[in-house]
Amino acid sequence: MSSVLELAGVSKSFGGLKVIDDVSFAVKRGSRTALIGPNGAGKSTLFNLISGVYPLDAGRIVALGTDITDMAVPKRIGHGIARSFQNIRLMPHLSTLENLMLGEHHRASPWALARGARATANARAVLAQADLDTYPGQVVADLPYGIQKRIEVARAIMARPSILLLDEPAAGLNSSETAELRRMLERLSESGVTLLVVEHDMPFVRTLCDHVVVLNFGRKIFEGTPEEVHRDHGVLEAYLGPAAEIPAGVAHAA
């Protein structure tokens, strides 16, 4: 099985607005794929469809060989799909460790203790791995934005996913935090986790990802390597406007 995630003819409308229009692509196992496109292209919606937050109007989603189109939401994480969110969605009143422990919650028994050395061992390990030198017992709402963002990614890692969906993980991070995040993701990728990343930060995408899918107005308009994407006329038009406005010479910039 060379692809961990396949979307085939996926469509979704909200009311009269078709937000995702017949999107198909496959994410190869072990790849680092970026999902890019102008604001409103439908990237976050696609993540929500893959997580099961919204049902599909048409098409199918296959993850690790299983058709998950109709799979119940709480089951998908056990199937190997974990994600982070564009706006940080940590549990504000829970501590760092507790937020992390939520990542492995689906594997644990309800009556197991959620306190103490044994229960928090995994979370502490991931915390250390992620170089999050922050207070494990501290309520996350009190922590700085950059740290919260990384805790969110760490939470998804706790699920030991086969594929990790990251929605703008670098948004709002400064350059050293971004470098830290990239290192974390590279280590993850080397350990076998497939990455699907929504991002606007093109340098970040270029240094991290080996494959790019481009959406515009809910449609896939291009798919290829970061260099190919950069040169494609359609993509440039999507971001910059009709061809007449693109200054000569830009179209061939690397």
How far, in Å, CA of 69 to CA of 5, rounded?
12
Q: Which two tokens stand for residue 84?
A: 């982070």
Residues in the chain: 254
What are the strands of the beta sheet with 219-224, ordered from one edge? 81-83, 163-167, 194-198, 32-36, 211-216, 219-224
Does 114 interact with other proteins (rule: CB under 8 A)? yes
The footprint of other proteins on this chain (CB under 8 A) covers a number of residues equal to 48
Out of 139, 171, 221, 246, which residue is the one contacting other proteins (CB under 8 A)? 139
How far, in Å, CA of 46 to CA of 53, rounded?
10
Neighbouring C-beta atoms of residue 80, cutoff 10 Å: 20
Q: Which x/- pattern over 80-109 shows residues binding other proteins (rule: CB under 8 A)?
A: ---x-x---x-xxxxx--x--xxx-xx-xx
Does 248 interact with other proteins (rule: CB under 8 A)? no
Out of 67, 142, 227, 228, which residue is the one contacting other proteins (CB under 8 A)? 142
Question: Strands 32-36 and 211-216: what pairing?
Answer: parallel
Does 172 interact with other proteins (rule: CB under 8 A)? no
- Residues lying near other proteins in the complex (CB under 8 A): 51-53, 73-78, 83, 85, 89, 91-95, 98, 101-103, 105-106, 108-115, 124, 127-128, 132-139, 141-144, 147, 159
